[in-house]
Amino acid sequence: MILGLNHITIAVSDLARSLEFYIDVLGFKGHVKWQHGAYLSIGDLWFCLSIDTPSTRTDYSHIAFDIAKADFDNFKTRIAEHNIPLWKNNKSEGDSLYFLDPDGHQLEVHVGSLKTRLQALKLRPYNNLEWL
């Protein structure tokens, strides 16, 4: 049976540019790179950059990363200083910043957890919300 999330792989068009973004701007740890990709990590998450033709989306699909409340404002400032485009305004519980990587992948940093989201839904449920 499935145990949990193993890794995330995204297509990137320029490995050097993506390494700079994920390591220097977002603070990921670099492990190895090769002709067609690289392995990084953030916390316990294994993250792979793979050279390919990115196919960006316009739907709500995105990758969200944890951030501590104490670090949120500094991170938001860092994103602005690097002129990184935003793709959505936060309308949900907790502080969130929705931004794009160099290939247009939709990313988010979020202060909170599933537990805090579920607590918020008890106070302000979504339309037609059903508890499972």
Residues assigned a catalytic role:
108
Task: Report the distance separating Cα 22 and Cα 44, nearest Å.
Answer: 15
Q: Which residues pair with 99 in a beta bridge?
A: 86, 107
Catalogue the long-range contacts made by 30-37 (C-beta closer than 8 Å, 24 or more residues apart).
Answer: none
CB crowding 41-75: b at 16 or more within 10 Å, else e: eeeeeebebebeebeeeeeeeeeebebeeeebeeb
